[in-house]
Structure formats: C-alpha cells, structure tokens
Structure 1
C-alpha cells in the first residue's frame, strides 16, 4: 500500500488516497474538497479509483465527493459510510454544509455495519464503529497493512470534538479506548486533521486517554 495525503476544503481536511501499487487501483477517503490538482494527479499517475470511504458526515469530509465521482465513473463509483450516519449525510444543517454555500447532501451511499469486512481495490478493510465525534462515526482498519483511517475520532495526541450535532465526549473516549487501542501498537493512524501517528504513540502520550 502507498498512502498519499492531500489537504482539501475550506479548513484543510486530510483526504487520502490508498493505492494498491501493483494494480494502481485506489481508494479515496474523506473528500472534504476535490481540487482540480487532485483529479489531474490521479490521472497523471494512472490511478484507478474504486471507491470512496467516509469516516463521518461532516461538511469538511464530504463536499468533494460528487465532483470526484463525476471525474471517475459517476454514480458507478461507490461511496461507503456507517449506517447511523445516513441522516447526517442527507441533512445540510446536521452536516453543517449549509453554512458554506448551498449545502451538500449525499444520497447514493452504501451503508456499512460494525465489524463488516470490505474487499476493495485489492485491500481487506474492517469497519470499526467509533461514535462520539458523530453518532455514526467509524474508522477503517486495513489489517494486512496495519493502517487505520481514524477520521475525526483519534488525532495525534488529541481526540475529535464532541460539541457538534450528535457528538458525545464520553462516548468518543470510550470508542477509542475500547475499540482502537487494542489494535497493534505499530498500526499507522491517518487522521482527518493534523499529523499521522501510531496506536502505540497514542497509548503513551495522548492526554485524553
């Protein structure tokens, strides 16, 4: 696996490409924006997008989805999100996109469940339900590569906010302690904001845990 990070959208969200180097198939994650430079980069490298993974439904993680889909297959390109996030993805007030223009809703979404296993772009991916930042927040774990997409659940020496709609601070910390910290310590964590980290580093240095 090759992981490429891009700062996108109005507040600089980390969007990712998870690339299968042998086949050039890739997954995109948390597309808070979709600049032309990202589209051009994918085409220049010959990457083949196979799906979009969403860790949750806030505006800064979804506003680039439709532009990306239109560039790479339209509605045929699947979008995955956790089942309890459906209401937020369909409501521009809940996802807060209405504060940044016309608002954004996503309706063509494949909803996943806790511990569901996905097989996309040559990767095996486990869905880990981690409510707290939002009611339907989740993380995506790639066990063979020991990589975690943590969205806005777990940051480097920090955790996500819980003061937005459907957030819950106690639930967020429990999600991390009970569902993420038992992953291998060498697991690389790619968050929605700030720098990458590891599970081992967060066990030792995260003051919220």
Structure 2
C-alpha cells in the first residue's frame, strides 16, 4: 500500500490517498477541500477511487467529500454516531468560515466493523471526544492508523467544539489507540505523522 498526503483548505487539513499498489484502487480519507485538485491527482495517476472515508464531520474534513463522491460514483463512509454532526452546520462548524453547509454519508459504520475496500481491510474504531461520532481507520496488516482529529503528534484534538469532551478523547485514545502496537504509523488530520509508540511514551496529554 502507498499513502499520499495532500494539505488542503483553510486550516491545513491532511487528506490522504490510501492506494493499493497492485490494482491502483484507492480510498480517499478526509477530503476537506480542493475537490478539483484532488480529482486531478487521481486522474493523473490513473487511480481508481472506491470510497471516501470521513473520520468526522467537521467542514475541514468533509467539505469536498460530496463533490468527489459524485465525480467518481463512490460512497461516503462515516461512523453511525456522526450523522448529526455532518448534517448540522453548527456542529460541523462550517459557520466558522461564514458558511452554513450540511454534509452527508452514504454508509454509517459501527465500531469494530471491518470495511473491505480497494483490496484493503480497514477497521472502524469509534473514538468520541473531538466529536460524538469521530472515528479512526486501522489497517492492521499495513500497521497504519488514520487518526483524524483524535490523536496528533504530541497532542490531541480540540474538545471545545459541540459534542467535544476532553475526558472522552483521552479515554478513547487510551482504550482504543494505545491498545495498538507501538510500530503502527499514525496519519493524523493535521500536522506531522507519528507512531503509537512515540505518543505512548511522550504525548503530554496522555
């Protein structure tokens, strides 16, 4: 598997392409903006999108999802507890940038569910705290975690938005993410890539 990282939008969100190197099938994780640019990158490389995966429903992660899903005829996935955040402009904080937008998902996954997409197995880990239905996607074979705004390099996600909880996010990380092996690479929604081991050893919030 190959992972491509693109920084998009007003708050420098990491959008990822998880690409099956053998088939060129891929999934798009958190396309928060720049739909046309992302689509061009896909077409230039001859990639075959199979799904959009949202770690949560904030505008800076979901804003371009609908456009990309329509362009490529694919479905958008999110955790089942995130429906209201996606659809409510107050909760998806699109009002912060002077908009009032509603987003959607086509498939609402459950905690622990394994999604078989693009020849990869992605386990949905419900990690509330940043939002009520925030989740991470774990690829056990590849030792990769897409952590959204739950876990950052030496930090954790904000909890002052609607549905946020500091005790909740710390509990989610301790129970769900620190249970993973130390050598799992963590691809967060903002800032630098890290590992579970590094965050276990030195993240000041944990």
Alignment of 1:83-122 (within 5 A): 83-122=80-119
Query: Aligned residue for 1:33?
Result: 33
The answer for unaligned runs of 5 or more in structure 1 is none
Q: 1:166 pairs with 163, 166, 173, which one? A: 163
Give me the whole-angstrom Cα distance separating, in 2, the residues matched to 1:201 and 1:40: 35
Give me the whole-angstrom Cα distance separating, in 2, the residues matched to 1:66 and 1:117: 23
Give me the whole-angstrom Cα distance separating, in 1, the residues matched to 2:123 and 2:40: 30
**TM-score under structure 2 normalisation?**
0.97
Query: Aligned residue for 1:6?
Result: 6
Query: Aligned residue for 2:19?
Result: 19
Say yes or no: does 1:185 pair with 2:182: yes
Query: Aligned residue for 1:80?
Result: 77
Residue 106 of structure 1: CA displacement? 2.4
Q: Closer, same or farther in 2 for the Cα pair 1:28/1:153, shift >3 Å?
A: same
Report if the CA contact (8 A) 2:77-2:105 is conserved.
no
Report if the CA contact (8 A) 1:34-1:65 is conserved.
no
Q: Closer, same or farther in 2 for the Cα pair 1:63/1:176, shift >3 Å?
A: same
- Say how many residue pairs are matched: 206
Give me the whole-angstrom Cα distance separating, in 2, the residues matched to 1:165 and 1:108: 19
Report if the CA contact (8 A) 1:8-1:35 is conserved.
no
Residue 40 of structure 1: CA displacement? 1.2
Report which stretch shifted further, 59-68 or 33-42: 33-42
Cα distance per residue 1:145-202 (max 9 Å; x no partner)? 0100000000001100101000000010011011100101100000000000000111
Residue 93 of structure 1: CA displacement? 1.5
Report if the CA contact (8 A) 2:183-2:196 is conserved.
yes
Residue 101 of structure 1: CA displacement? 4.3
Report if the CA contact (8 A) 1:34-1:68 is conserved.
no
What secondary structure does 2:49 align onto? strand
Give me the whole-angstrom Cα distance separating, in 2, the residues matched to 1:108 and 1:202: 31
Query: Aligned residue for 1:53?
Result: 53
Give me the whole-angstrom Cα distance separating, in 2, the residues matched to 1:86 and 1:3: 27
Give me the whole-angstrom Cα distance separating, in 2, the residues matched to 1:116 and 1:183: 16
Give me the whole-angstrom Cα distance separating, in 2, the residues matched to 1:200 and 1:19: 25
Query: Aligned residue for 1:136?
Result: 133
Residue 71 of structure 1: CA displacement? 2.2
Alignment RMSD (CA, Å): 1.1
